[in-house]
């Protein structure tokens, strides 16, 4: 019996290719893909179409889920390989800078710049 090749979206393939080029650990790649899949389920559509409003809703959901104890204590928005622990700062920084490059942001950015970009 032969298995049919599983088709994947162009976005997922691009993400896998980028992570492979950056020589990320296969386990880390699976976790990133898992996180994007969860975000896709939350949105109900492709994550590359997410708007600022979608991210605001995600933040509201996160706060509500934490208050209702639907998340693990500590409620990591970016869980690590073990969901009890958060994604490491180093992993997050790498993903952040890779995203900035893909988005064509040539300005020098840091994780702290996110705080100012979405301050209300």
Report the percent of the chain where pLDDT is more than 90.
Answer: 0
pLDDT at 74: 55
Contact (CB, 8 A) for 60 and 77: no
pLDDT band at 118 (very low <50, low <70, confident <90, very high): low
Predicted confidence at residue 72, as pLDDT, reads 61
pLDDT for the residue numbered 91 = 84
Model pLDDT, residue 1: 44
| Predicted TM-score (pTM) of this structure | 0.43
pLDDT tier at 105 (50, 70, 90 boundaries)? Answer: confident
Q: What is the DSSP string of 31-75?
A: HHHHHHHHHHHHHTS-GGG--HHHHHHHHHHHHHHHHTT-S-TT-
Closest CA to 30 of 77, 91, 71: 91
Segment 18-66, tens digit of pLDDT: 888 888 888 888 888 887 887 788 788 887 788 888 888 888 877 887 7
Per-residue pLDDT tens digits for 59-103: 887 788 777 766 665 556 677 776 667 778 888 888 888 888 888
């Amino acid at each position: 019996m032969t298995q049919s090749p599983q088709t994947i979206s162009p976005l997922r393939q691009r993400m896998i290719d980028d992570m492979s080029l950056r020589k990320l650990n296969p386990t880390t790649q699976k976790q990133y893909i898992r996180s994007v899949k969860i975000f896709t389920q939350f949105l109900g559509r492709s994550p590359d179409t997410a708007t600022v409003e979608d991210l605001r809703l995600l933040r509201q959901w996160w706060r509500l889920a934490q208050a209702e104890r639907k998340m693990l204590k500590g409620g990591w928005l970016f869980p690590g390989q073990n969901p009890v622990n958060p994604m490491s700062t180093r992993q997050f920084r790498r993903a952040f800078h890779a995203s900035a490059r893909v988005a064509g942001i040539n300005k020098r950015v840091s994780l702290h710049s996110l705080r100012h970009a979405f301050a209300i």
